[in-house]
Every structure is written in C-alpha cells, then in structure tokens.
Chains A and B, each alone.
Chain A
Amino acid sequence: MLEKSAASLRTDVTGEWRGETLSWRLAEGVVELTLHRAPANEIGQEMLEDLERFAGALPSLESAAAAMIVWGDCRAGFSAGADLRELYKQAQKMEMTAAVKGVREFLERIHKVLNRIDTSPLTTIAAVHGVCFGGGFELALVCDLIVPDKMARFCFPELRLGLIPGFGGIPRLKRDVGNALVRDLLLTGRSINATKALSAGLVSQVAAEGEALRVARTTAAQVVKFDRTASVAAKRFIKPLPAEELRREIDIFCELFPQPSVLKALRKFIENQGPHPYLP
C-alpha cells in the first residue's frame, strides 16, 4: 500500500527525546537522530536500548516527517563502532556458550533496529564526519544517502579481531558498491577517505570539513518538498532488504566469535596503551 503524500503529513506529532547516548527531534518534516555517547559513539548495550526506543517511536515520527538525518555529535566522528570494551568485559564473565548466546541476542536486536531504519518510508541521510568504523559504518549504510565531510573515514576493522562485520555491513555494502571495494575493505581491514568513497559510488557528494550536517539538512529540506508516495515507492524498488544474507551474517559472526584468537585480539585492543589501536 502506498504511503500518504507530503500534503497529508501529520502536524500534531511532537517528537523530541533525549537519552544518555542519543536524542532525537522532529522539526519541519525532518527527524534528526543525534548520537552523543562520548568519546566516539561506541554502540553498546545502552545505545542499543536507546536505538530500540527510537525504533519504537518511528511510526509516530514517520507520520509527520519525510526525511531523517542521523549524525554523531562527538568530535571523534560519526561512530567508532561496537563497544569492544563492553563486549570483552561481558565475554570474560561467562562460559563461551553463554557468551555466544549473548552475542547472538545482541546482534538480533541491533539487526531488528537497523532493518527498521533501513526500511523506513522516510528518506534517510547519514551525515558523517571523522571515524565511521565497524558498527558505525553499518549504521550509516542503512541510510539511503551518506553525506560525508572530507575528513570522514570509513572502515570495517573487524578482520583485525578475527571477525566479520556483524551489524549487517556485508550485505549492505554489497548492495551499494562494486565487488572490488567490498573485497578490499573486508579482506584488508583498511580505511578509506571520503574522496575514495565518492569515486567508488558509496557516496554521491562530499561536504567541506565540518559541513556534513549542514549539507544533510539542506538535502533533507529538498526531500521534504516532494510528494512522498513516489519516493517511498522508489525506495522500495531500489533498496531491497537483503534479509537472508543479513541472517547468514549473524550466523557466521557467531561461528567465529568462540575462536581463541578473537578474545586475544579483543584483549590486545583494549589493553593497548599505545597510540595505535585504531590503526591496522
């Protein structure tokens, strides 16, 4: 069933909420989801709960909006990805079978939230600056558009931990770009800058340093002008949800997690007192 047109956006919905890790507000037909968990918007249990709360609020927000912007209000960047310290701490406390069960539950919950944002009828825009790594990159990939500034960097560093991306990054990256870049990022664990992302077709415009949010807001204002029926239909056509591959990714992640090398790599990352943890 096609969605209502822009002319019938509800005006009686007020959407504003602030939690410890994120906040959102609705204004002039645009929802802004702001991540603000210092220092680098790492995605752990608390942010997952806040994201679930956001997903619960979406139906109401969607009745009064045409676009959504997701951005990170931390100096380091959009998001450095999963909270590895929390993951290691939790895994250390339990027997491995229980740890894997816990990991699977977390992944299923984050997938549910990200799939909900991915399939939202709103046109979604990730405004990216600084690090957009791992789970952070996966959050950006659920959006219809990624607007980076020229200092943004994208990376799937999971290989360095003996893992693969677990929040849906592989099927979504495959959906967006060619195989050469997919393999390069997944098999070398390297990061790429916004210029490279532009030439690879991951993004279609790059903002000046510090201007990603402003450009995203201008883009959202443009989107809001149009009748939503057509854009919702177009989005469904051009951006199918790769449901089976997403489920398979969770399985592979959970198969890899029990390897001793994974906990060893996590410990090395967390205990690294030097300046190098985010470098390959």
Chain B
Amino acid sequence: MKTLDQTTDEVLDLAASHFKVPRAGLTPEDDFYKKLGIDSLQALDLLTRLENHFGIELPDYEVQGVNNFRTLAARIQARL
C-alpha cells in the first residue's frame, strides 16, 4: 500500500508532466490552480488523469475547496 508521501509524489509527477511545468518547481503545499495556471475544465482533466492513474473514482465534490497538492493526494489516498 502506498504511503501518502508516495501518492503525493505521483500526483506532482503527473501534474508536472501533463501541464509541462518543471517538476522541481512543485511542492506539496502549492496551490495547483495558481502553480499550474489552470481553470476548472483543466482541473477536471487533471482529476480524470489522476483517477485513471490510481485506478480510483474520486467524486469531484470531494475536491471542493481543495487547492493544494498534499490535500488532493490525501483525498486520493483515502480511496486506495
């Protein structure tokens, strides 16, 4: 079973890769909307990629109010 740190790393890796931002520039506490420069449609795209990557279903209301990578990873972790 993955740890939260491992899950967080995978979230950061996926976000950096897909949105083409330097991985070294991302930290778990970053606001992903601001750091990735994305809107809600792109956030849904990220959500879908994360669901596909982790093999989970994550209702979008579970990410309501979530704007940093660590909390997003925690929501994912709760579904693993």
Contact = CB atoms under 8 A, between A and B. Distances in A.
A279 interface: yes
Nearest to B59: A190
B52 A191 contact: no
Given A279-B60, A279-B64, A280-B61, A193 B52 contact: yes
Nearest to A131: B41
Interface stretch (B5-13, B42-50, B70-78): B42-50
B80 interface: no
Interface residues of A, number: 23
Interface residues of B, number: 18
Nearest to B40: A278
B43 A195 contact: no
15 contacts: A80-B41, A131-B41, A150-B48, A151-B48, A188-B61, A190-B59, A190-B60, A191-B44, A192-B57, A193-B52, A195-B51, A195-B52, A275-B38, A275-B43, A279-B63
Interface in A186-205: 188-193, 195-196
A277 interface: yes
A130 interface: yes
Interface of B: 33, 38-41, 43-45, 48-49, 51-52, 57, 59-61, 63-64
Contacts of A36: none
Given A193-B52, A275-B38, A130 B57 contact: no
Given A275-B43, A276-B40, 15 more contacts: A40-B41, A130-B45, A131-B41, A153-B44, A188-B61, A189-B61, A193-B52, A195-B51, A195-B52, A196-B57, A275-B39, A276-B43, A278-B43, A279-B40, A280-B60
Given A191-B44, A195-B51, A275 B60 contact: no
A265 interface: no
Contacts, number: 53
A76 interface: yes
Nearest to B39: A275
A188 B43 CA distance: 19
Contacts of B59: 188, 190
A117 to B, nearest CB: 26
Nearest to A77: B41
B44 A278 contact: yes
B52 A76 contact: no
Contact of B57 (A80, A193, A280): A193
